[in-house]
Amino acid sequence: MSIESRFLPLLQNREEQHLYRRRPLATSPQQAAMQINGWEVINFSSNDYLGLANHPQIKQALITALQSDAISYGAGAAHLVTGHHLHHHLLEDELADWLGVERTLLFSTGYMANLAVQQALMQAGDTILADKLNHASLIDGAQLSQAEFKRYPHLDMKALERRLQNSLKNASQTLIVSDGVFSMDGDIAPLNELQQLARQYDAWLMIDDAHGIGCLGDQGRGCFEYFGCELDSNTILIGTLGKAFGCSGAFVAGSEILIETLIQFARPYVYTTAMPQLNALAIRESLKLIKTDQASRETLQRNIKQFKQSAIKIGLNLMPSDTAIQPILLHDSAKALQWSEQLKQQGFWVTAIRPPTVPTNQARLRITLSASHTEKQISALLNALQTLLNTSE
């Protein structure tokens, strides 16, 4: 059997079901106003929540660094060989100080971090209990571990507790795994309840705060700060650096023992090249901005409030979210694609999210707001959405 004969029918079937994915081509910096596929658009699909991806302070720091002899672009090797540069080391220390944890550990992507932790920590006979709507990387990390993998209904703490009781009865070490902010729905996991259940049933807790870190909490420390929780020695925080931080990469935060365990046993850490030195420097600059620029978080919250209030007023089917992720549920994949295309023609880039990224009959427009959006841009998007709503009725 050839590759073509196996996969061409699958590709054709995906096209027929309006589920085919294509990569848009950006030819401008990542910012609110962009050029994508030759269209001049206002971008409402980026995870650049604080508008840092094209920040002049970060760009200037990189220019200055390139003029020195103390840094290269490529790391050249894995962290455990010769790739662990001073900027990596300082960034890990600065993130740990900011979050109030013993240590952090850098990864090249959030996907790698989520694979690494579950694969390294969970052994045969252990149990992973995961929220039904967890990110794909969390699902893959659980499946690649030796532990038994079970899922509980989305945000259902009673169902989770029943599974914890069973694990305790079977003397199985359990890891509870959840997104902090769910990437396709925008709702927030109740970290205070999750942490309480973990402590009550002697479980470990792992939170992927990709869409909360930088945005939530008075100091931008994410979902744990938002709920007034602290990381204890059995709690693991994953944070990504390609969303609110505007750069790329990820980190794991937690105890000294956790980080040393990952350095020794996490294959996605040991057997890969370190992130570029310049990226670590850029993240350090971004962290400085996140620490000091409370105004950007306040602007983001105002933008979220403006969009939500107006969207509800005009009758859009918003999903329950108080974060920068504001999905409009359309159910039908063809309709989601149609709305996305019509918005593009009016100058707005809004991505249609379809299965298998979301469940069947849950297609939606995933609108993401940024501190860099203006009130005028948001109002214009809402007017365009109202027109679509009126013509589809």
Binding residues: 21, 110-111, 135, 183, 211, 240, 357
* CA–CA gap between residue 136 and residue 357 (Å, rounded): 8
Greatest pairwise CA separation for the chain in angstroms: 63
Residues recognised as catalytic: 183, 211, 243
Return the amino acid letter for 13. N
Phi and psi of 134, rounded to 5°? -60, 155
CA atoms within 13 A on the CB side of 370: 24
Strands (E), 111-212: 127-131, 148-152, 174-179, 204-208
Nearest alpha carbon to residue 370 among 51, 126, 55, 156: 51
CB 235 within 8 A of CB 100: no
Binding residues for pyridoxal 5'-phosphate are 110-111, 183, 211, 240
Binding residues for substrate are 21, 135, 357
Q: What is each CA distance from 374 to 2, 29, 142, 183, 388, in whole angstroms? A: 52, 17, 40, 23, 22
Q: Is the dihedral of CA 14, 15, 19, 24 positive or negative?
A: positive
